[in-house]
Amino acid sequence: MLTVVYARNKVQERVSLWQDLQLAGGQIQIPWLISGDFNNVFTRDDRLRQPVITSEVQYFKQCIDNMQLTPLKTKGCFYTRCNKQNANDRVYSKIDWAFGNFSWTKSYGHLEVDFLEPGVSNHSPIIVQLWKRRTIPPKPFKLYIVTMEHKDFSPIVERLQRLKYEAKELKKEKASYDQRLTQIRQRLACDQANMVLDPFNQMLIEQEKQIMNELDKYSTIEERILRQKSIATWIDYGDSNSKYFFAQMKIRPS
- According to the model, what pLDDT value does residue 230 have? 55
pLDDT tens, 212-252?
Answer: 888 877 666 556 555 555 555 334 444 445 555 555 555 55
pLDDT tens, 170-190?
Answer: 777 777 777 788 888 888 888
pTM: 0.63
Beta-bridge partners for 115 = 76, 126
CA-CA distance, 61 to 242, in Å (whole number)?
19
pLDDT tens, 85-97?
Answer: 999 999 999 999 9
Instruction: Find the helix or strand (DSSP H, E) in which 160 lies.
Output: helix 153-197
